[in-house]
Structure 1
Amino acid sequence: MEFDAIILAGGRSSRLGGVPKSRLVYDGATLLERSLGAAGGAGRAVVVGPDPGNLPDGVLTCREEPPFAGPAAAIAAGLDALASGHSVGRGDAAPAPFTLVLACDMPRSSAAVRVLAESLEASLAAAPEPGRGDGVMAVSQDGRKQPLAGFYGTAALQRSVTEARQRGGLENASAFSLLARLDVREVRVPPGSTDDVDTWDDASALGVSDTIPGLGPGRGTELPS
């Protein structure tokens, strides 16, 4: 299955005292590194948020407008960056048919992404013709929907962005509002795979810290040696 990826890393982290979630550390790697690893099968990936520096080769970066304008604006900025990257000849001639949208604050998201990809691939194999729906969204074991862990049809997602722009409805809008008109199938994902870090209590419960053992604070995408 061909897909591109948008990694959302632009929140204020106000309940973490402004410490960027992307630089928090889980099991020796930053949360941004883990998100990029979860999206490792993507043809193209873009990180939306402050430029973290030291991104792997080929990974794009951009910022939502205005900064801190929320997830809908960030998804729109990511789609624009991916489309621009393809249009100038970087990679395939056109965007991939699906786009993975993934927040960077879920340290165990790779398990969710794997299950979502397997479910979507099975659906495509069973019904390869048009009319198969607009993608899949993660749902936790206790029934909580997580729109920032999902594969969405790129064309459908772009239509939603265009419609929202025409209404002036991107700034400070939620991901749910952006995705409201999409025909998205909900997929149960492994326990804990969409648990996110909003507070230091969340971080402690998930085994997330702001330091790499022996090296100090998390440093963008630099892995410990």
Structure 2
Amino acid sequence: MEFDAVILAGGRSSRLGGAPKAELRYDGATLLDLAVQAARGARTIAVVGPHPGTLPPGVLNCREEPPFAGPAAAIAAGLSTLEQDRAARRLDGPAPLTLVLACDMPRVDAAVRALKAALEQPGAASRDGVMAVSADGRKQPLAGFYNTAALQRSAAEAAHRGALKDASVFALLANLDVRAVRVPSGSTDDVDTWDDASALGVTGPIQGNDPGDRSGAPAAGLDFGGKR
């Protein structure tokens, strides 16, 4: 299965007091590391957000315009960067599918595997993609494979209307024929608050130069009381 991937890693993290979600840690890896691992097999990966300092070779980085313009704008920026890379490398065309992932789901690898399995079922190619649905029925559009051409058209139309900034992903996908796919329990649980982080076993970014400091609690002296 040929696909590209767009990983969203640039939100304000307001309910985490501004602590970058991409730098939170789970089982020894950052959440961004885990999202990149979940996208393994992608022809090209674009991470949308501040540059984390290091990325695996070949992984692209960009920002939505303006910064913090929301997930729909971030997806559009990722698609544009993938297209620019494709043109620079003189590839024949975009990958048929684009995997869209948020970087705040530490167990999303299981969801991606379930989505891939769904795409291998008869008739899957006749639709515009698949989207994860949690065990309790909650749709998660930031864990899905989407028809690249259809997603590009939707992003271009929204940009033409000036409707990308602060738009929801559901609005961006409104005209796509996307099938909801039930994924393993917990695989799309995300981190919006420190309570979420604690429940999932996610800890805070490593502070300073101390590799042993993985406390999920805010560092002393920092104000983590902001709300979204």
Moved over 3 A (4+): 211-214
How far did 1:96 drift?
0.3
CA distance in 2, matches of 1:47, 1:207: 24
SS in 1 for 2:75: helix
| Structure 1: runs of 5+ lacking an equivalent | 219-225
Q: Deviations over 1:60-117 (max 9, x none)?
A: 0000000000000000000000000010017x43210000000000000000000001
Q: Percent identity?
A: 68
- 1:140 aligned partner: 134
Q: Deviations over 1:18-51 (max 9, x none)?
A: 0000000000000000000000110000000011
Write the letter of the residue equivalent to 1:210: G
Answering whether residue 157 of structure 2 is matched by residue 163 of structure 1, we say yes
Q: How many residues align?
A: 212
Task: From the superposition, tell whether residues 133 and 29 of structure 1 become closer, same or farther in structure 2 (CA, over 3 Å).
Answer: same
Counterpart check, 1:203 vs 2:197: yes
Looking at structure 1, the residues matched to 155 and 195 of structure 2 have their Cα atoms a distance apart, in angstroms, of: 34
**Structure 2 residue 192 is the aligned partner of structure 1 residue 173:** no
Aligned equivalents of 2:112, 2:137: Cα separation in 1: 17
Tell me if structure 2 keeps the 8 A contact 1:6–1:101: yes
Q: Match for residue 211 of structure 2?
A: 215
- RMSD over aligned CA atoms reads 1.6
Corresponding position of 2:59 = 59
Distance 1:217 1:103, change over 3 A: farther
Equivalent in the alignment of 2:99: 100
* Letter in structure 1 aligned against 2:62: C
Equivalent residue for 2:118? 119
Secondary structure at 2:89 match in 1: coil
Structure 2 unmatched ranges of 5 or more:
215-228
Partner of 1:221: none
